Amino acid sequence: MHEGSITVRLPIDLREIERLNRIVRQFGDLHEIPSRTLYAVNLALDEVVTNVVRHGFDDPTGQEAVVHLAAAEGELTTVVTDGGRHFNPLDVPVPDLNAPLSERALGGLGIHLVRNLMDHVEYHREKEKNVLTLRKRIR
């Protein structure tokens, strides 16, 4: 693995997720990050950015999300920042996966997936922005 970082600015548009996916794969190739690590990070980012696009803004015109990737010290760290409505995804309760589908509450599966894919997930609000940090050990 080679250390390095990149910052990507994404207009609030679902079509941008595929571009982000390509950039993450290219970053991983350049920094020799194993494909299983990249797969987990891309899947988590897909979920996070999709939620920002679908639920973060009443009017997404001119808005953006910023994704910062950094490979260092055996870890891939991703920070997603957006100016959407305040939302801490870590406050979403863990879904009851044993309940029948008809009895399950809507939502929560995506962040559950992110929590299980990543080694560390952290949220804070800073300067009217949501900041979600995802960390995955590179193995």
Write the CATH number for 58.
3.30.565.10
Identify the burial level of 82 via C-beta atoms within 10 angstroms of its C-beta, where 0-12 means exposed, 13-18 middle and 19 or more buried.
buried
For the chain, the domain total comes to 1
CA distance 112 to 90: 9
Residue 129 pLDDT > 80, yes or no?
yes
Share of the chain above pLDDT 70, in %: 89
Rounded mean pLDDT of 52-68? 95
Domain hosting 30: range is 4-137
Which phi and psi (to 5°) does residue 2 adopt?
Answer: -110, 140
Q: What is the pLDDT of residue 102?
A: 66
